[in-house]
Amino acid sequence: MSMKILLDKVGVAGIETLPVYRAHGGYSAVEKVLKMAPADVVEEVKKSGLRGRGGAGFPTGMKWSFIDKKSGRPRYLVVNADESEPGTFKDRYLMEKMPHLLIEGIVASSYALEANLSFIYVRGEFRWIIAILEKAIAEAKEAGLVGKNIMGSGYNLEIVVQTGAGAYICGEETALIESLEGKRGNPRLKPPFPAVSGLYGNPTVVNNVESIAAVPWIVNNSGESYAKIGTPKSAGTKLISACGNINYPGVYEIELGLPVEEFIFSPSYCGGIKDGKRLKAVVAGGSSVPILPAGLILKTANGEPRLMSYESLSDGGFLTGTMLGSGGFIVYDEDQCIVRNTWNFTRFYHHESCGQCSPCREGTGWMERILHNIEYGHGKLSDIDLLWDVQRKIEGNTICPLGDAAAWPVAAAIRHFRDEFEWHVREPKECLVRNYGLPEATVATV
């Protein structure tokens, strides 16, 4: 089993309460950072190699170092808890099971950024999570771990939980900031970036829940120790929310660099494909990343074992690789329909498009309609090329990454499963009563 630093205490009775959390070493990172210079905390996180766990994978310490310190304006830390990517549910689990780990991370991170007001922007559907977080904050404040003069240090920090309205687009950091300001959640043009002009025009850092929850361990054990976990370019551990046709769905904390094959088939993780069926495909990092067929998710195009890391999953680019993304790991067995799955993802992106950019607003609707026709036996072969053309005109032509997120799954599905799309067109009646299945040439060897 991999080393655990985020979920190691999950299962301890009462760990969601302050007394139990403190009895197991909780808030020791706060005690430590309050004796350090803020800049030294930033340097420690930079040394750790921690990369943002929300999907983009940008180095967290470097992001912190960009925050404007010269203007003298108030700085803010905003924790992005608007977890809405289909297939991703690890932040929800972390907040539900270890709320004080997140609060401890926020205090340590806010101190490093010299912020005195921080926000947790929570997905609106997480009503019970909001109550858990507010209770944890109240406990911490009662104990002098949040609020004025924390632990007698003179440092002040207030934490506010803000509920979102259930829009996927508000997971994009500038749309989140707009929503936090009480406006419609439309992404902003960049630059300026939030580190210079974010919330209320002030310097702001937006980090994912899992990224912030990793900070206490880094503070307590050093950035260098964290950097030794995983691989040189993918340091630390990562929460993976695994679902689909597997024996053991759930949230797993893995050491980055774990072979994908071990993650899928080991009884310590997913436990193999359910009902003894064969592996067909995997979406490795949430619905927005390219789907890969069995052969390419287990091994790279060069025949090397594919690893659960940023660099290995992206090996081959989008032609033969994918992305670690948010860690939403969706497994498909031989009976699943790639056309229907792609249509379903596209329905989601069409519904969630904010409508600000024409390529996304119009293109996602076109893709949904074309995919619906193919799935239900009304498609033409030329529709496949039309679908390719539409996704190509969305990618890279929108203000925010939602356009790319909508285009990439369609492109990858056509690239790797074109035969299945053509079969739907050539067999319009049969595709209504059975799925294409798994060509023998693509059967996984495991």
pLDDT per residue as tens digits for the range 382-394: 999 999 999 999 9
Please report the pLDDT score of residue 443 as a whole number. Answer: 46
**What are the φ and ψ backbone dihedral angles of 318, each rounded to 5 degrees?**
-80, -10
Is pLDDT of 439 > 80?
Answer: no
Please report the pLDDT score of residue 84 as a whole number. Answer: 92
Q: DSSP per residue over 27-49, as a string?
A: THHHHHHTTS-HHHHHHHHHHHT
Distance CA(323)–CA(325), nearest Å, equals 5
Per-residue pLDDT tens over the stretch 242-269 = 999 999 999 999 999 999 999 999 999 9
Distance CA(352)–CA(347), nearest Å, equals 9
Q: Which amino acid is at 136?
A: A
Please report the pLDDT score of residue 445 as a whole number. Answer: 42
Q: Find out whether the peptide bond into 192 is cis, omega within 30 degrees of 0.
A: yes
Please report the pLDDT score of residue 446 as a whole number. Answer: 42
Distance CA(294)–CA(77), nearest Å, equals 40
- What is the arithmetic mean of pLDDT over 417-431? 96
Mean pLDDT score across all residues of the chain? 95
Per-residue pLDDT tens over the stretch 386-418 = 999 999 999 999 999 999 999 999 999 999 999
Bridge partners, 290 (sequence order): none
Share of the chain above pLDDT 90, in %: 95
